[in-house]
Structure 1
Amino acid sequence: MRRSKVFIGNSHTELGGLICNRLGVEPAPCTLKKFSNGETSVEIGVSVRDEDVYIVQSGSPSVNDHLMELLILISGCRTGSAHKITAVIPSYPYSKQSKMKKHRGAITARMIANLLTMAGADHVITMDLHANQMQGFFTVPVDNLHAGPTLAQWIRHNVPDYKDAVVVSKNPGGTKRVTALADALKINFAMIQTDRRRNHKPYSSMLNLAQAPIFSVASPRKKGARGAPPTVLPAPGSPLNGTARRASMKLQDGPNTTHGTVPSRRKSSNTRKPSQLGGRRPSLNPGEEGEDDVFDDEEDEGVHIVTAHGVQTARVVQGHVVGDDYLEEESESEAQSEAETRPRLQHTDSSVDLKHALGGSVDAEGSDDDDDEFQREKLITLVGDVRGRTAIIVDDMIDRHGSFVAAAEHCRLNCGAKRVVVIATHGIFNDDCLEQLQACPCIDSVVVTNTYPIPVERRIAATKLVVIDVSAIFAECMRRNHHGESISALFEQMTM
């Protein structure tokens, strides 16, 4: 790369060195230090006039200091008459603050974009933004690279029987990312929804789609009989809409319907419960025959219950899945003791909690990004089938362990998954997150890329951790960008 310079910030020197090795260039000399009063100082030790400058600076635990380093480096290169300045930010800082989650909140990610542009950045290269809409925060071109192809390649080589695995989204907001990975691997996907409990009844007595009847099917056929499909009747208490509504209207007209005589709605002695289906997969199509057929061939008539397949619900207390016999008083006392240790707003009413005193909205409290593993109690629901399969829980970053541990425990303990692999692009691992994932017996592997710096001692101690190198993707993007080539191939074909 002629007439170009690559500067490496202090946030992730290891990744910057790998990128330079891939490009076959030496890092440009610069001095990054702090004055005695805490101010950041940057000295560029080489001429950058009329050259393409690339500054590699990722997010890190010292995000504010390293962000100032990046801005000062960009400004210094602009003052030095650089031809083009590209900020290479593998892990974009403040990306979780990309929307207003609370009243009078700040969209900090947009402010960071404005700072980069005002400092003099002409181009930004990053990977897996928390929300793709963040590209609209910039008035300069943004290349948002994807780690999906690299992660898919790792799954193909390291997950046994990956063709029978299931990609799981730990919250509804990540379904697009999960479906893209599932399409690349040509496998099934599932989704987990975590919701706060709104009453104190045991979850088994609440509405559970895994056990609630969807349709009551009245079949006039006998064993071996063929002919018209059975009439679909709405289950008691269920709303009438679509086909069920039309079927109900036909039943109200009398027994002479297009499907023949309508049998009585009383429960037959031969009717089997969903739990007595012998483990066979229920079919939601009443006219479908085969091994998935839920109709009892030995009975003449009656009402058959068809249940929703692949929906499992469980309780989550203090970030862990618990059984229905878990004491409610114990969970409330633990939540109360935890709440007492948290800071409260200085207010005349001591009962006003910080979250509510700031005027938080319902969306803010129930946000998947701000999930709190120390809430009193939540319900976790898996929509999909992972029984006897490998569950691959995917997200863009791992910063806290609570939601991942709860999802893994639910997949293994309640849904019958034989293996759980947690995969993300950015391994932030705040506080003791990595240690908690390592200690969780329901998680077999934790896979991240090296976009975010992880101390060497933590990587050595975590035997379940796998770090994938993505320096080749950034190096190839920088090379193509310097020579004016297209980078579209990196989004689909670049796998390491």
Structure 2
Amino acid sequence: MTLHPLVILSGNAHPQLAKEISQQLNTKLGSVETHVVINESVRDVDLYIIQPTCNPCVNDYLMELLVMVDGAKRASAHRITAVISFFGYARQSKKDKSRSPITCKLVANMIEMSGITRVITLDLHSSQIQGFFNIPVENVCSDQLFVKYIRKRIKPLDQGDMVIVSPGVGGVKRGKIIADKIETDLAIIHKASIASSDSETILVGDVQGKIAIIIDDIADTCSTLNSAAVTLMRRGAKKIYALVTHGVFSNNAIDIINECAISELIITDSIPNTHNQEKCPKLKIISIASMMAETIRRTHHGESLQNERMMMTSSCG
């Protein structure tokens, strides 16, 4: 098999992540002007464009990605892979109201029709989104990153029994994977509707006197994290951490985190958040650069991604 040269390009969504990934791959980050003029030769190369579709300009970043792909196609790139560390439309993946769109499917169609031949992403909100595409989608999981952080940063500081907490029934599988790997119990928080405008919070599992670690994929308004923290404190949790893959932080989410009972909120840098870290001392950021770089390397060389040791190479800084 002929191995085509590897080129990394970045849009304006997250240039720092692209720079770190390029450094991990010992590859120079390609030059692109902001009005999308590719300043590198991409003829007959395997091109990887790093561009999360995230705040503050979700639609702009998506359009920039598509325009970059069109430019690369017209410059005769051999294969184009979109590295979308945060897939910003993942929550709109089903028709839950009359006449409502399935925006996630629409965006998948746009990505596919643009000429992208593969997508690499991180912790899709729903795994079935992979089925929206007719091209390969590598959904990299952050569970090994979180396991490593818990073992290296939480266990040595906080001695005592731990419990992994899923703040909703939809995240039980995610929480169970991590609980099994660190050999601890799993608790589940469920909001059951008891009236048209009220709900009752049900906690399944024992958190009394334990260090509770909430696991989730997206921190948006942070109301779910705050509600979970309130429930855990009422049930006697000793201390609360939260590990969340994507820090979206819309509206007054940072204020909510600052005021709630969570001691630390650990997120990845799938979305730029250094500006929020300055406002929230509880916020810790884990780099995904090594993990995504290794995924790119293995994809480029046609190697299997089903190797947990690959995910353990990532930094917990």
Q: Output the TM-score relative to the length of structure 2.
A: 0.93
Q: Paired residue for 1:45?
A: 39
Give the counterpart of 2:112 among 117, 134, 153.
117
Q: Paired residue for 1:399?
A: 220
Contact 2:90 2:125 in 1 (8 A): yes
Per-residue deviation, residues 10-66 of structure 1 (Å, max 9, x unmatched)? 001111111111111111111123xxxxxxxx2111221111100000122110000
State the one-letter code of the partner of 1:143.
Answer: E
Q: Within the alignment, does 1:474 sit opposite 2:295 as a pair?
A: no
Q: Paired residue for 1:195?
A: 192
State the one-letter code of the partner of 1:79.
Answer: R
Q: CA deviation at 1:109?
A: 1.0
Contact 2:145 2:311 in 1 (8 A): no
State the one-letter code of the partner of 1:405.
Answer: N
Partner-residue secondary structure (3-state), 1:488: coil
Q: Paired residue for 2:162?
A: 165
Distance 1:491 1:145 in 2: 13
Q: Paired residue for 1:452?
A: 271
State the one-letter code of the partner of 2:109.
Answer: N
Contact 1:169 1:190 in 2 (8 A): yes
Distance 1:20 1:469 in 2: 13
Distance 1:143 1:158 in 2: 28
Distance 1:390 1:152 in 2: 15
Q: Within the alignment, does 1:185 sit opposite 2:182 as a pair?
A: yes
Distance 1:410 1:47 in 2: 56
Distance 1:72 1:491 in 2: 36
Distance 1:419 1:148 in 2: 21
Q: Within the alignment, does 1:91 sit opposite 2:93 as a pair?
A: no
Q: Which of 1 and 2 has greater Rg?
A: 1
Distance 2:125 2:19 in 1: 25
Partner-residue secondary structure (3-state), 2:52: coil
Give 5+ residue unaligned stretches, structure 1: 34-41, 200-375
Distance 1:114 1:466 in 2: 35
Alignment of 1:69-84 (within 5 A): 69-84=64-79
Q: Paired residue for 1:427?
A: 247
Distance 2:159 2:171 in 1: 20
Summarize the Cα distance change of 1:165–1:59 in structure 2 as closer, same or farther, 3 Å threshold: same
Q: Output the TM-score relative to the length of structure 1.
A: 0.60
- CA RMSD, 1 decimal: 1.7
Summarize the Cα distance change of 1:163–1:24 in structure 2 as closer, same or farther, 3 Å threshold: farther
Give the counterpart of 1:10 among 9, 12, 16.
12
Partner-residue secondary structure (3-state), 1:71: helix
Distance 2:253 2:309 in 1: 30
State the one-letter code of the partner of 1:57.
Answer: Q
Q: Paired residue for 2:32?
A: 30
Q: CA deviation at 1:378?
A: 2.8
Contact 1:153 1:495 in 2 (8 A): no
Give the counterpart of 1:136 among 116, 124, 131.
131
Q: Paired residue for 1:287?
A: none
Q: Within the alignment, does 1:439 sit opposite 2:241 as a pair?
A: no
Distance 1:429 1:184 in 2: 29
Partner-residue secondary structure (3-state), 2:20: helix
Distance 1:162 1:178 in 2: 21
Distance 2:313 2:181 in 1: 12
Q: Paired residue for 1:153?
A: 148
Structure 1's consecutive aligned runs of 4 or more residues displaced over 6 angstroms after TM superposition are none
Contact 1:389 1:419 in 2 (8 A): yes
Partner-residue secondary structure (3-state), 2:307: helix
Give 5+ residue unaligned stretches, structure 2: none
Give the counterpart of 1:390 among 193, 211, 218.
211
Alignment of 1:359-398 (within 5 A): 377-398=198-219
Q: CA deviation at 1:483?
A: 1.5
Summarize the Cα distance change of 1:434–1:448 in structure 2 as closer, same or farther, 3 Å threshold: same
State the one-letter code of the partner of 1:177.
Answer: R
Alignment of 1:312-327 (within 5 A): none
Contact 1:421 1:446 in 2 (8 A): yes
Distance 1:77 1:408 in 2: 47
Partner-residue secondary structure (3-state), 1:77: helix
Contact 2:187 2:203 in 1 (8 A): yes
Summarize the Cα distance change of 1:85–1:491 in structure 2 as closer, same or farther, 3 Å threshold: farther
State the one-letter code of the partner of 2:214.
Answer: I
State the one-letter code of the partner of 1:22.
Answer: Q
State the one-letter code of the partner of 1:164.
Answer: D
Per-residue deviation, residues 74-103 of structure 1 (Å, max 9, x unmatched)? 111111111110000000120101111212
Q: Within the alignment, does 1:488 sit opposite 2:309 as a pair?
A: no
Q: Paired residue for 2:54?
A: 60
Count of residue pairs the alignment pairs up: 309
Distance 2:136 2:228 in 1: 37
Alignment of 1:405-420 (within 5 A): 405-412=226-233, 414-420=234-240
Distance 2:77 2:144 in 1: 34
Distance 1:117 1:491 in 2: 31
Partner-residue secondary structure (3-state), 1:98: coil
Summarize the Cα distance change of 1:2–1:81 in structure 2 as closer, same or farther, 3 Å threshold: closer
State the one-letter code of the partner of 1:119.
Answer: S
Distance 2:75 2:299 in 1: 21
Contact 1:166 1:390 in 2 (8 A): yes
Summarize the Cα distance change of 1:122–1:2 in structure 2 as closer, same or farther, 3 Å threshold: closer
State the one-letter code of the partner of 1:462.
Answer: C
Q: Paired residue for 1:104?
A: 99
Contact 1:401 1:433 in 2 (8 A): yes
Partner-residue secondary structure (3-state), 2:195: coil
Q: CA deviation at 1:183?
A: 1.1
Summarize the Cα distance change of 1:487–1:409 in structure 2 as closer, same or farther, 3 Å threshold: same
Contact 1:145 1:490 in 2 (8 A): no
Identical pairs, percent: 37
State the one-letter code of the partner of 2:268.
Answer: T
Distance 1:473 1:391 in 2: 26
